[in-house]
Copies of this chain bind each other. A is one copy, B any other.
Amino acid sequence: MLRLYDNLSSGNGYKCRLLLHKLGIAYERIELDIDRAETRTPEFLARNPNGRIPTLQLEDGSHLPESNAILWYLAEGTPYLPDDREGRARVLQWMFFEQYSHEPNVATVRFWITHHVEMTEERKLGVVTKRRLGYDALGVMEGHLAERRFFVGDRFSIADIALYAYTHVAEEGEFDLSGYPAVRAWMERVAAEGPHIPITQG
């Protein structure tokens, strides 16, 4: 049985939980307390030397980290991943956009706020930049979704799951989505794509 090393507050973990639920795949979920550095113990570093959840333990006992690589692994051969070359590359385009331009800004600010992280001088300066870059990323999404239902090929895919995970909780990071109507309409479409679960469901 697959085993997911996870944390319920993590949008990256939620991506995996949501797709596993959609695919009806049974798995064991191991909750790690990231505030207590349970991802940095020698035992967990042996599973993922980069010390991060989510990490998926495969049937053969090996471990696969990186939320979007896990999404790809699970989605291969399912309707959640296009089977044409350009469609697959575009799914990756948006997943790399998510990890580089969206997550380090939108998710990190949410993490600092909701986990009550100490606001050092570096973070106080950084949050201003991250808020600007986060809104930039939301603006790129808004433009793309203005005339599209989903991110790639007018079909729900793992690109939507990857970008939904932290966008739908952006307000917990005090991002105001009122100026992003296409993003809000897309989030409603994503949540209506059953079977769906909320981020809080393990």
CA distance A64 to B143 in the complex (A): 16
Interface size classification for chain A: 35 or more
Q: Which of A3-11, A16-24, A67-75, A172-180 contacts B (4 or more CB under 8 A)?
A: A67-75
Bitwise interface map of A from 82 to 125 toward B, beta carbon under 8 Å scored 1, else 0 = 00011011101101110111011000000000000000011001
A13: shortest Cβ distance to chain B, in Å? 15
Residues of B within 8 A of A68 (CB): 92, 96
A131 within 8 A of B: no
Bitwise interface map of A from 37 to 51 toward B, beta carbon under 8 Å scored 1, else 0 = 000000000000110
Decide yes or no: A144 and B73 within 8 Å by CB, A64-B93, A66-B96 being known contacts.
no
CA distance A65 to B94 in the complex (A): 9
20 residue pairs of the A-B complex, CB under 8 angstroms, read A50-B97, A50-B140, A64-B86, A65-B97, A68-B96, A69-B89, A69-B92, A72-B89, A73-B86, A73-B88, A73-B89, A76-B85, A92-B92, A100-B104, A104-B104, A121-B125, A122-B122, A122-B125, A122-B126, A126-B126
A residues within 8 Å of B by Cβ?
49-50, 58, 62, 64-70, 72-73, 76, 85-86, 88-90, 92-93, 95-97, 99-101, 103-104, 121-122, 125-126, 129, 137, 140, 143-144
